[in-house]
Amino acid sequence: MHQGTTLPQKMTSSATIKRSEIRSNIRAARRNISPQQQACFGQQACAHMLTKLEELKVKRLALYLTNDGELDTQPLIEALWQNGIEVYLPRLHPFSQGNLLFLAYRSNTSLVQNSLKIWEPKLDITQMILPHQLDVIVTPLVAFDEAGNRMGMGGGFYDRTLMNWERMGSPLPIGYAHDCQQVNRLPCEHWDIPLPMIITPTKTWKF
């Protein structure tokens, strides 16, 4: 499967498609990307992201560990460490359901698997940072459209985290995705937070 392959018409043309259908179809498309392509795309997207982060003079950045066919973040993580940029990972809040905490991530950080089967840092409040103290949050997504609308997994974790980012002035959310995750138009809900920028292996989208 080529990264720029046009998605089936039912995935791109109708605003009436159920959100669950879009999630199912695009997650399947991501999983069909071969390990060799994943490695290539991860390096390409990493190069685009590093260029942008240098322009923004980013010092603290949160991102996620790749899961379920997502664009590989490991090349980016290693490059950030090498460039002296502080890296943070999300973890589910232990007391506030539906919210995220962000903890420092280093090569020796202990990870545990959460209830969603995603790896996250072991809880240590000494390693925690508040979202507005981050310069950038690299956000996972299932799908995005040509207006910068983002569709996540449906839990609303990042929508809650980013709901005040424009008023606070930080952190800047940047989407990170395969090219095949782009559709013409997403059916959006009022709580969905659009992204000002999305980086894929072939393009930097600005909205």
Q: What does the chain come to in residues?
A: 207
- Paired residues of 101 in beta bridges: 91
Overall pTM > 0.85: yes
**Cβ atoms within 10 A of the Cβ of 119, count?**
14
> Which of 29-33, 59-63, 183-187 is the least confident region?
183-187
CB neighbour class for 105 (10 Å; exposed up to 12, middle 13-18, buried from 19): buried
The pLDDT, as a whole number, for residue 17 is 55
**Torsion sign (Cα): 72, 9, 205, 130:** negative
Categorize the per-residue pLDDT at 189 as very low, low, confident or very high, splitting at 50, 70 and 90.
confident
Location of structure tokens 């997650």: 27
20/47: higher pLDDT: 47
What's the pLDDT tens digit per position in 64-122?
Answer: 999 999 999 999 999 999 999 999 999 999 888 888 999 999 999 999 998 888 899 99
Task: For residues 157-174, give the mean pLDDT.
Answer: 89
Instruction: Determine the distance from the C-alpha atom of residue 37 to the mean position of all C-alpha atoms in its chain, rounded to a whole number.
Output: 19
Question: How far is the C-alpha of 155 from the C-alpha of 7, rounded, in Å?
Answer: 25
